[in-house]
Amino acid sequence: MSTQLADQIRRLIEVDGPISVAAYMAHCLGDPQHGYYATRDPFGPAGDFVTAPEVSQMFGEIVGAWLVHAWDLAGAPSPVCLVELGPGRGTLMADILRVAARHPDLAAALSVHLVETSPVLRAKQASTLAGQGYRADWHGCFAEVSAGPLLLVANEFFDALPIRQFVRVGGRWRERVVGLDGAGRLVFGLGPGLVDHGADAEEGAIMEVSPAGEALAADIAGRILAEGGAALIIDYGYTRGGLGATLQAVRSHAFADPLADPGDADLTAHVDFAALAASAAKAGAAVHGPITQGEFLVPLGLVERAGRLGGAADEVTREAIRAAVERLAGPEQMGKLFKVLAITRPGVTPPPFGPKI
């Protein structure tokens, strides 16, 4: 099945030649008329995937408690910008605000900022946050967020930033591109230029880099260094950079062909947390982690919170809570694949990133 966006990308390639994987991802996800996020709400059982805030309120409550503590460690700056990158339906922000409301000084100090480009999702977020007592400001990118100290969270945001792929051919790295075959179908190919950077590897190996992700991590770190605050990045990916293709498409909770039906499936790639950490550290900030999502949630009280929620509940509800804990922190589910990275000013070490007791 062809899509309007597929036809648009074909015309672009016919005129200008093959495009990079990064450019292809940017078109598929961000095209203002036909892009994936511009045209739908992809979250939940009826959508294409489920994120941790949709699994259970416990996730957002623990993140909210972490942000409260990080604010205190940062000197309780007032005012402070509470920022979420890619806020989905607004579920995580609603949970965070519910926790913040229990801390009057922070509640009085914060302003809410949502970095979101999708008009469909902005409307969902506005509906979710209605009645929370805050006016939310929406921004098209992080650079638009108001000046001042910040508390920032990015859950499953960096995985959707465009990546570049390089293939090892003849002892050199050549960029992987998207072009057309003889029948006009979208196919992967190799760009004509040779790239000298990158490690040695076997013939045919694929290397992925995310210039957009690394630049954003540096920008966040620079902002925290200059103005104060803390950031928490949660996503699926790997602790150390490595070789291999992780670009994937997901539709209706199943994997799909990344080149089939552009704009109708989510495109993501595993996050290289080592690269993000290096960028943030180079900007002068203190970097903590990455640790696994399980290593983050369990020490901060996930099991105890589950016990309180289920204490007076019926057996069906208690089983749902137990299943949510397993999904969020279990090593075979989100607990190991997802990683957590924190960024602060030097000299601040928020839990659970300190020395293990």
264-292 in b/e burial notation, b at 16+ Cβ within 10 A?
bbbbbbbbbbbbbbbbbbebebbbbbbbb
pLDDT of 9 reads 95
Task: Find, among 21, 33, 11, the residue nearest to 263 by Cα.
Answer: 33
- Of 14-23, 31-40, 124-133, where does mean pLDDT reach its minimum? 31-40
**22: which 2 tokens?**
């990064």
Region 285-297: what's the mean pLDDT? 97
pLDDT, one tens digit per residue, over 130-174 is 988 899 999 999 999 999 999 999 999 999 999 999 999 988 899
Answer whether 220's CB lies under 8 Å from 152's CB.
yes
In the block, residue with structure tokens 């995985």: 159
- Residue 357: pLDDT band by 50, 70, 90 thresholds? very low
Could you give all domains of the chain from N- to C-terminal order, each with its CATH number? Answer: 4-344 (3.40.50.12710)
H helical segments located in the chain: 4-16, 21-30, 52-55, 57-73, 91-100, 104-109, 119-129, 211-227, 273-282, 293-297, 302-310, 315-329, 334-337
Q: Which two tokens stand for residue 96?
A: 């965070």
Count Cβ atoms below 10 Å from residue 199 Cβ, excluding itself: 11
Is 80 exceeded by the pLDDT of residue 115?
A: yes
Confidence tier at 46 by pLDDT (50, 70, 90): low
- Could you tell me how many helices (H) and strands (E) the chain has, helices first? 13, 16
Sheet holding 254-256, edge to edge: 254-256, 248-251, 266-268
DSSP code, position 80: E
Model pLDDT, residue 172: 87
What's the rounded mean pLDDT across residues 72-98? 97
pLDDT at residue 356, as a whole number: 53
Report how far residue 190's alpha carbon sits from residue 206's, in angstroms, rounded to the nearest whole number.
12
Q: Are 344 and 151 contacting, i.e. CB atoms less than 8 angstroms apart?
A: no
